[in-house]
Amino acid sequence: MTSFEIRQLGIEGAVEFSVPVYRDSRGLFTSPFQLGAFDAALGHGLFPVKDISHNVSARGVLRGIHYTTTPPGRAKYVYVPHGRVTDYLVDLRVGSPTFGRWEQTELGGGDRGKALFIPMGVGHAFLAQEDDSIVVYVMSEGYEAANELAVSPLDPEIGLPIPRVPRPEQSERDSAALTLAEAGKRGLLPDYATCVELEAKLWH
């Protein structure tokens, strides 16, 4: 197996995988997912895959913080095959021991490629640092627009270190997203126990 480095993040259940990137005059080769490393980190293989998607972003584009209502919830495996992004995970699960905590990771570029396992109920955002940055999502559920929600990545209560000047480019949906407190008051945040229960069923 390729030499994976595995790091348990400060958000309950979230894992960062790092693997060598081999470069020469032709280009590069890397392997962002290997079953053995995933099993070593989480005690089981990857969830049954129901959706693989990707987006392409210009430098300065900010996407997120996105999450899926639970149920149904969506677990994700995310990596960047081209370009470079600053990636943010935020624990939005009410009742989680790490609720409100965030983690920052650089994805893409460098001599080691990184990928993230994102548990159900953990919000995801990223800021593209290079033009044509590609983010790939491997997901446990298909896309349903009505189930997809967002919290503002510029919410000062969350405190993500995102530059305000120049202001990142956002979609209308993301720029109008609720703060963490507003989403909580409206009952829109996922429940930790429900997320854990539903996620466990992915492997049974």
Active site residues: 66, 137
Name 154's Cβ contacts closer than 8 Å, sequence gap at least 6: 160, 162, 164
What is the CA angle 66-16-38, rounded to 5?
A: 105
| Pairing of β 51-57 and β 133-139 | antiparallel
Among residues 84, 100, 108, which one has the least CA distance to residue 160? 100
Alpha helices in 56-171 (DSSP H): none
Name 110's Cβ contacts closer than 8 Å, sequence gap at least 6: 21
Name 130's Cβ contacts closer than 8 Å, sequence gap at least 6: 59, 83, 84, 108, 109
